[in-house]
Amino acid sequence: MSFILIRHGQSVSNQKNLFTGWYDAPLTSLGKEQAIEAGKILKEHHVHLDTVHTSLLTRTIQTTYLILETIDKLYLPVHKTWRLNGRHYGALEGMNKDQARKIYGEDQVKQWRRSYRAVPPLADTHSLCQRYPFLPPEVIPRGESLEQTRRRMEPYIEEVIQPELLQGRDVLVVAHGNVLRAFTMILENLSEEEVFKVEIQNAQPIVYDFHSDLSVAKKIIWTRSSY
């Protein structure tokens, strides 16, 4: 079984250097090219996929379908869930990161972005409640630490993804940088200090192979020249 993690391609908010968690932003032209390139990498490695999971945000959905089109697997069902949405940056959502540093200071912004427990200033949930009417208002975050993001993801991992892997399926998750940092922390048993340093590049496949008990047997980051 293989477990493939891919961050979405460059989004408009990435291009503008904005905090982007649950804020919805489409891919740029470069982001679409990156997604297609990720698909080409999977195709070169003759990847067989059984199931695909992504968030409810445009940038991951676009990336997912561009990858599937490139590998001739558009027929695969794509499971979308709010539990794989990006980490909610609270009142920082949509704010330029350089502007945030001027307002709050470099060290504080770095803690909000990289640490495991720091929670950004909280946001009003009104607009998100309108976008997610199928969710109870109390479960919609107003801002999250990486720890809270991980807790939000865990029910989906335990109830949906883990059973698929235990059945020997090859699973693709297309998600967001902090969500994939949380996956990395779980899979590699990283400490809070270690996850602080984890960087996830846009549209670069990260592949885990497992033993039968789902302990990691091998990890590789694929590029066009890594096969």
Q: In this structure, which amino acid lies at residue 90?
A: G
For residues 65 and 60, what is the distance between their CA atoms, to the nearest angstrom? 9
For residues 173 and 152, what is the distance between their CA atoms, to the nearest angstrom? 16
For residues 109 and 100, what is the distance between their CA atoms, to the nearest angstrom? 7
Is 13 annotated to bind ligand?
yes
Active site residue 8: yes
Going by C-alpha positions, the residue among 98, 115, 117, 114 that lies closest to residue 106 is 98
Is 7 annotated to bind ligand?
yes
- In this structure, the chain runs to a length of 227
Is 21 annotated to bind ligand?
yes
Is 86 annotated to bind ligand?
no
Is 20 annotated to bind ligand?
yes
Is 178 annotated to bind ligand?
yes
Task: State the residue for tokens 């670069």.
Answer: 204
Is 55 annotated to bind ligand?
no
For residues 52 and 48, what is the distance between their CA atoms, to the nearest angstrom? 11
- CB contact set of 94 (below 8 Å; sequence gap of 6+): 13, 18, 19, 20, 23
Quick check: 142 and 122 in contact, CB under 8 A?
Answer: yes
Is 189 annotated to bind ligand?
no
Is 9 annotated to bind ligand?
yes
Point out the catalytic residue in the list 8, 53, 88, 176.
Answer: 8
Is 168 annotated to bind ligand?
no
Quick check: 69 and 38 in contact, CB under 8 A?
Answer: no
Going by C-alpha positions, the residue among 206, 175, 182, 55 that lies closest to residue 115 is 182
Is 127 annotated to bind ligand?
no
Could you give the residue numbers annotated as active site? 8
Residues placed in the known binding site for substrate? 7-14, 20-21, 59, 97, 113-114, 177-178
Residues placed in the known binding site? 7-14, 20-21, 59, 97, 113-114, 177-178
